[in-house]
Amino acid sequence: DYDTLLQTLHAAGKWPERIVHLWNVSPAPEEPATQTIYAFYSLLYLAQALDKARSEETAELYIIANELHAITEAEPVAAEKRLLCGPAKVIPQEFDWLTTQIIDLQLPPAGSWLWGELTQLLLAEFGVPLAGPSGPTVAYRGRRRWVQEYTPAPLSLDTASVPRLRPYATALITGGLGG
């Protein structure tokens, strides 16, 4: 229970400055219903509990997953894990004191010495201050660090083809995590 954990920490005068969310690291695929809880609801409930428990503190939330991105065509992707991308992007917009970063890993074979190296890479990543509300989405493949970037696409000036709301139309606009 995130609420109980964070209230207990806060009552003891402690606050997690860095949170490492590992619910999306799994050597074998999870059931879709279970993965939905890990990828989406665990982040939602964690952010809400952090907001309830804090007074003036800030925090960094590192969301670790495997099989999230296909850097090469041969890599498997667990589509259910992609659900974590929504909360990872929205949480810092709803809670400006909480920054997020997604880190995608390629898991080494069980018992491999590469686990130690992967641990060192992650510790180094946690030491880099996050710039802005969310750090870059990063993928580690072996010793290589891949960073997701967006390139602006030119927009057409032809606005006639852009669908718009009708004047006085009824529209539903929903919020994020704030209620």
Tell me the per-residue pLDDT of 36-62, one tens digit each, with 9 for 90 and over: 888 999 999 999 999 998 888 899 999
Answer whether residue 179 is part of any domain: no
Percent of the chain with pLDDT over 70: 93
Answer whether residue 9 is part of any domain: yes
Answer whether residue 23 is part of any domain: yes
In the predicted model, what is the mean pLDDT of residues 3-24?
Answer: 92
Query: What is the domain extent for residue 91?
Result: 2-161
Answer whether residue 178 is part of any domain: no
Tell me the per-residue pLDDT of 107-139, one tens digit each, with 9 for 90 and over: 988 888 889 999 999 999 898 777 667 778 999
Answer whether residue 119 is part of any domain: yes
3-class DSSP assignment, residue 133: coil
Q: Which CATH number do you get for residue 21?
A: 3.40.50.720
CB 101 within 8 A of CB 60: yes
The span from the CA of 22 to the CA of 76, in Å, is: 19
Given this model, what pLDDT does residue 67 score?
93
Answer whether residue 72 is part of any domain: yes
In the predicted model, what is the mean pLDDT of residues 157-178?
Answer: 72
